[in-house]
Structure 1
Amino acid sequence: MTTQAPIPVVINGAAGKMGREVVKAVAAASDMALVGAVDRNPNLQGQDAGEVAGIEALEVPIVNDLQATLVMALQERQLPVMVDFTHPDSIYENVRAAIAYGVRPVVGTTGLSAEQIEDLADFADKASMGGAIVPNFSIGMVLLQQAAIRASQYFDHVEIIELHHNQKADAPSGTAIQTAQLLEEMGKSFNPPRVTETEKLPGARGTRTEEGIRIHSVRLPGLIAHQEVIFGAPGEIYTLRHDTSDRACYMPGVLLAIRKVIQLKSLIYGLEKLL
């Protein structure tokens, strides 16, 4: 009886807050093997990815050459996967590189535009490659979004507030944008105007989507990742809220995506498509 070889995993952004959690999760998963750790932090080059993450040494050094690491990963027997938690400025090129080299991307970095996602999906289709772009890996967030979709059938007024730590580079968050998109797929407009609004300070009412949903972004130290979806109607308010207190909450979703992505033939958007 032969056992299946573990899935080779490259982590891009391995020394970041999320990257370190992914290193620990992959190292603890019996069906995965960390084969590459990439990060741009010059102070950590050559250090062991496991030790940087706070666990035992994994004999995988942190390097700053993504393409060379992808090529190395292809030498493994199984289909390799790249998990990316980097920066909005580099994510598009990172995903294109992974697809070009035949490495399946699992993307947690937000900030991709709708046009970039469409372009990457076309590129993956031409390469017959599976991939996953996931704005939020939390199972709880998926459940919140499903509840919001149900509520949107009965409420015409809704606003979204997303709150993150002050080191998050993009706003609104990818999760808030995706939540609004899911509500707009119901085929209705929201927040019909009751008065002519005037913003005394630009941005006071947040951003507004094409279908009228307002999104507000808060950035403060002490926060991790939080979101409220607030529905209003005469005489009542219905609030859905999701809070994270530890980035470990995202790891079941990350591991699920790694296992599922090697079976995909196209690029998908959203964790709900893998559940």
Structure 2
Amino acid sequence: MSSTIKVAVIGAAGRMGREVVKMVLEDEALQLVAAVSPSAGAIDAGALVGKPNTGVTVSATIEEALEHSGADVMVDFTVPAAAYHNTSTAIRYGVRPIIGTTGLTPEQIEQLDKLCKEKGIGGLIAPNFSIGAILMMKFAAEASKYMPHVEIIEYHGDQKLDAPSGTSIKTAELISQVRQELRQGNPNEEETIEGARGGYYNGFRIHSVRLPGVFAQQEVIFGGYGQTLKIRHDSYERAGYMPGVNLAVKKVMTYAGLIYGFEHLMD
């Protein structure tokens, strides 16, 4: 039996989706067997990313793509409104989902985990596939043990749909696993403009910046007596996420159940 992993890419015409298609085509251990984009039309997936024809025609729906593709893994970089449908559909077909789309609720994640286990397949939801970003989260969690006064500032382009970002929420979750809730700031502080102090999470604040020209950055700031510590990660282009996506495609073949967070693949 061939050891090649067959991959379907959902959101193939999007900016992240195109990078995933290129990554799959450039790895001999992977085979592109399906691509989905409702808006791209019935064109070859290779032409979509400026590569030679692959024989894979872009489908309009995920059902059409997965019906006869024999895909092992689905990679989804779409929008929050479509992520749950895409993931549950993939699992129904026995295809392992890798979801880079943020915005799924804890209840939805729990249900998808149950579906994966029932099918005996693995899955991954990762707010961030950047190895540098995962290290930033790990370092921040470690620092919070010793410097519990912390705030997060995350920066994205002005077209991002969700705020705060999935990466900042995941960072906050990791910090909260090792840091007891501590309500920071003056207990009598008053916001003269609503939201000025940012979103509240377990005693600390998350601030979301949305501006054109920004790609993706996050800064975790710790304050202590006479000192501050800043842990920052900057992403400059989407290709930087592809080593992580590549690793996820290969790792998801080895376990059952839905994992939330790429950091679990780096242990």
Q: Do both proteins adopt the same fold according to a TM-score greater than 0.5, normalized to the shorter chain? A: yes
Q: Output aligned runs, 1:115-154, within 5 Å.
A: 115-154=107-146
Cα shift at 1:127: 2.1
Kindly indicate whether the alpha-carbon contact (under 8 Å) linking 1:159 and 1:214 is maintained by their aligned counterparts in 2: yes
Kindly indicate whether the alpha-carbon contact (under 8 Å) linking 1:156 and 1:191 is maintained by their aligned counterparts in 2: no
In structure 2, what is the equivalent of residue 162 of structure 1? Answer: 154
Kindly indicate whether the alpha-carbon contact (under 8 Å) linking 1:158 and 1:191 is maintained by their aligned counterparts in 2: no
2:106 equivalent to 1:114:
yes
Cα shift at 1:200: 1.6
In structure 2, what is the equivalent of residue 274 of structure 1? Answer: 265
CA distance in 1, matches of 2:247, 2:182: 34
- Number of equivalenced pairs: 266
Stretch of structure 1 that moved more, 101-110 or 54-63: 54-63
CA distance in 2, matches of 1:213, 1:129: 37
Cα shift at 1:114: 1.4
In structure 1, what is the equivalent of residue 217 of structure 2? Answer: 226
CA distance in 2, matches of 1:58, 1:158: 49
CA distance in 1, matches of 2:206, 2:74: 31
State TM-score, norm by structure 1. 0.93
Cα shift at 1:4: 3.1
Q: What amino acid is aligned across from residue 95 of structure 1 in structure 2?
A: T
Output one character per residue of 1:62-101: Cα deviation in whole Å (capped at 9) or x when no partner. Answer: 2212012112222x6xxx1000000000101111111111
Kindly indicate whether the alpha-carbon contact (under 8 Å) linking 1:230 and 1:239 is maintained by their aligned counterparts in 2: yes
Cα shift at 1:208: 0.5
Which of 246, 251, 263 is the matching residue for 1:255? 246
Kindly indicate whether the alpha-carbon contact (under 8 Å) linking 1:131 and 1:266 is maintained by their aligned counterparts in 2: yes
Stretch of structure 1 that moved more, 85-94 or 56-65: 56-65
In structure 1, what is the equivalent of residue 227 of structure 2? Answer: 236
In structure 1, what is the equivalent of residue 255 of structure 2? Answer: 264
Output one character per residue of 1:91-126: Cα deviation in whole Å (capped at 9) or x when no partner. Answer: 011111111110000110001111111121122122
CA distance in 1, matches of 2:97, 2:178: 29
2:17 equivalent to 1:26:
no
CA distance in 2, matches of 1:40, 1:212: 42
CA distance in 2, matches of 1:114, 1:234: 36
Cα shift at 1:191: 4.1
In structure 1, what is the equivalent of residue 64 of structure 2? Answer: 68
Stretch of structure 1 that moved more, 111-120 or 10-19: 111-120
Kindly indicate whether the alpha-carbon contact (under 8 Å) linking 1:158 and 1:190 is maintained by their aligned counterparts in 2: no
In structure 2, what is the equivalent of residue 91 of structure 1? Answer: 83
Stretch of structure 1 that moved more, 108-117 or 194-203: 194-203
The percentage of counterpart residues that share the same residue type is 48
Q: What amino acid is aligned across from residue 64 of structure 1 in structure 2?
A: A
**Distance of aligned partners of 1:190 and 1:54 in 2 relative to their CA distance in 1, 3 Å threshold:** farther
SS at 2:139 equivalent: helix
CA distance in 2, matches of 1:141, 1:148: 10
CA distance in 2, matches of 1:231, 1:190: 13
Q: Output aligned runs, 1:166-185, within 5 Å.
A: 166-185=158-177
State TM-score, norm by structure 2. 0.96
In structure 2, what is the equivalent of residue 56 of structure 1? Answer: 52
In structure 1, what is the equivalent of residue 189 of structure 2? Answer: 197
**Distance of aligned partners of 1:87 and 1:239 in 2 relative to their CA distance in 1, 3 Å threshold:** same
Cα shift at 1:60: 1.7
Gaps of 5+ in 1: none
